[in-house]
Amino acid sequence: MTSMQNTGRSQVSKPEIDYSLYLVSGRELLPEGITYLESLEQAIQGGVTVVQVREKNADTGEFLKIAQETQELCNKYNVPLIINDRIDIALAIRATGVHLGQTDMPVSVARSLLPAETIIGISCNNPEQVEKALNEGADYVGLGAVYGTATKDVTGKITGPRNVGAMLEKLDGSNVKAVVIGGIKSSNVLRTLHGSVSTTGHVLDGVAVVSDIAASKTPKDAAHNLSSIVKAFKHVSLPSSLATPFSTQVSSPLVEHAAALLYIVRKHGPLIHQITNTVVTNQSANATLALGASPIMATSPHEMEDLQKATGALLINFGTIADKEGMLQAGKFANLNKKPVVFDPVGVGATAYRRAAAKELMNFWQASIIKGNAAEIGTLADSVEVQAKGVDSGGSFENPPEVIRQLAQKERCIIVLSGVTDYISNGSDVVALHNGHPLLGQITGSGCMLGTVVATFAAAERLRSLEKEGTGSNEEGRLVSGDMLLAAVGGVLALTVASEIAAARKDVKGSGTFLPALIDELGRLTPEVIIDRAKVELFH
Ligand SMILES: Cc1ncc(COP(=O)(O)OP(=O)(O)O)c(N)n1
Ligand SMILES: Cc1ncsc1CCOP(=O)(O)O
């Protein structure tokens, strides 16, 4: 609360608030042995940048007393204080601001009652509410609830991080700040910040938290964990460069770097955790082995926490979607351990259940790469251009690069669209790859195998990046180290080039002999052969 800002909308100077870590009080959640003020002081020492007093059960006298005590502590550390709901209390203690809900007093009325420099924040659950808040002159918005939480009944109001971007976009060009609230914890804060960025590159100003700090026995550590992640994320996500977290950072030619990842696969033999469908489990595991990596096909949710510490990358393929809880937990712990997550939403357009499951998974964890055929990508992109026919695709897009560019921006990850020509985008660049053989379409699970190979290259690219960059401060704010576009290009090239070589073999008489030959050729493949045969086009 040290400097003042001129809002532009009026001539009033308002306190400039750092919203990075916004603590909303939760006295009822305090663990035994620590008082409210002790917990608050430790939390501020740990990195809380703004405090809200939220008292849902206190009468006016008690609320006022708590607000005064909180203010004394906040003043000691020069941290701004916001009062939830109660304009009278905010007036009485001259609080820095108030926070209002959708059913509380309208922002314009509150503004007329409060000193002009008072900060007014309002909760918003959808883009229309954000637009209204902007028009009514709010200073910041609290977006959510992002996830479910035991702290408040948020039934029917859970947005998921993937809907936050559309709300943030409404704030483009304004000075109105935004935080998310609801279920934010140190275990999901980085993936939440990453997944919330709008397609226009608008980034959250911070996160609001109750229980992860208030219920902690060590609130200083809890706040410090959250604060360091938010700071690291802000450090790497410059609002104007959408592609920063996953753009190609490698200066020499794309194909050479992508192909060279095969050396890293062979050198390190990363563990590739695959939750895949029962049709392809065996051949996908064999393809992983042939490349020089190590497959593990575990599905139980109970082992995901341990597994994700050891893996190089995770593939989630929901072809026979029997293990949704395992998929949820695997992705969550992969994000937490900063491991690449490749999502293959097999047949997502085929049933309402699959569409809902894909949304649930994608809101629970952040994919690094999504791979699908035209029907699957069309479903995720809400396009009616290509209709789903079971798990196979029934057509192609008029403008594939544009479809996947937009989907990559929306989903904040690399999109791989498989087909006769494969397309890959990071939301700004699009790569078209023209390798492959028709026999790939005549064996079951070649698309699933592509997911496996891409996941293997993603593990290699992460290792390459960590070897080169180390775990410097820039890496801390990124969900996954390395350039996942490069990994996707390498993976697609490896499988398609191997398929061309396998199909040309004299001993291959049809799809039955093609599959083992393909596994053999994946094992014999070298980066040089990939570079030699790659047919790649790059669109900027
Ligand atoms: C920062 C922030 N965002 C949202 C809320 C929720 O406010 P509201 O919708 O008014 O619900 P209650 O807090 O009154 O239960 C908040 N308090 N802070
Ligand atoms: C006040 C509020 N508004 C929306 S969710 C929520 C509670 C958030 O609490 P927690 O951080 O413990 O999930």
Instruction: State the DSSP code for 27.
Output: G
- Encode the chain (540 residues) as per-residue pLDDT tens digits: 444 554 445 568 999 999 999 999 999 999 999 999 999 999 999 999 999 999 999 999 999 999 999 999 999 999 999 999 999 999 999 999 999 999 999 999 999 999 999 999 999 999 999 999 999 999 999 999 999 999 999 999 999 999 999 999 999 999 999 999 999 999 999 999 999 999 999 999 999 999 999 999 999 999 999 999 999 999 886 433 333 333 444 445 899 999 999 999 999 999 999 999 999 999 999 999 999 999 999 999 999 999 999 999 999 999 888 889 999 999 999 999 999 999 999 999 999 999 999 999 999 999 999 999 999 999 999 987 776 555 555 568 899 999 999 999 999 999 999 999 999 999 999 999 999 999 999 999 999 999 999 999 999 999 999 998 766 657 789 999 999 999 999 999 999 999 999 999 999 999 999 999 999 999 999 999 999 999 999 887
Calpha distance 406→66 (Å, rounded): 48
How many Cβ atoms from other residues are within 10 Å of residue 68's Cβ? Answer: 13
Tokens read off for 499: 């398929």
Calpha distance 116→130 (Å, rounded): 21
Query: Under DSSP, is residue 102 helix (H, G, I), strand (E, B) or coil?
Result: coil
| CA of residue 215 to ligand 2 center, whole Å | 12
Instruction: Please give the CATH topology (third level) of the domain spanning 4-242.
Output: TIM Barrel (3.20.20)
CB 363 within 8 A of CB 160: yes
Nearest partner of 419 among 401, 367, 318, judged by Cα: 401
Give the 3-state secondary structure percentages of the chain, helix then strand then coil, rounded to 5.
Answer: 45, 15, 40
Phi, psi at 162, each rounded to 5°: -70, -15
CATH code 3.40.630.40 for 246-539: no
Residues 6+ apart with CB under 8 A from 472: none
Radius of gyration of the chain from its Cα atoms, rounded to whole angstroms: 25
How many Cβ atoms from other residues are within 10 Å of residue 319's Cβ? Answer: 22
Calpha distance 358→380 (Å, rounded): 9
**Residue 448 among the catalytic residues:** yes
Q: Cα-Cα-Cα-Cα dihedral of 404, 335, 358, 192, to 10°?
A: -80
Phi, psi at 166, each rounded to 5°: -65, -30
| CA of residue 449 to ligand 1 center, whole Å | 46
- Looking at the chain, the domain(s) classified CATH 3.40.1190.20 span 246-539
Nearest ligand, CA 179: 1
- Looking at the chain, the domain(s) classified CATH 3.20.20.70 span 4-242
* Residue carrying the six token digits 């992969």: 334
| CA of residue 248 to ligand 1 center, whole Å | 39
Q: Distances from the Cα of 396 to the Cαs of 378, 384, 421, in angstroms? A: 9, 11, 10
Calpha distance 199→164 (Å, rounded): 11
| CA of residue 307 to ligand 1 center, whole Å | 37
In ligand 2, the atom with minimum distance to the C-alpha of 184 is 11
Task: Give me the half-sphere count of Cα atoms (radius 13 Å) on the Cβ side of residue 481.
Answer: 20
Calpha distance 84→89 (Å, rounded): 9
Nearest ligand, CA 212: 2
- Ligand 1 is surrounded, with C-beta below 6 A, by 22, 24, 52, 54, 84-85, 99, 101, 104, 121, 123, 142, 152, 179, 181, 208
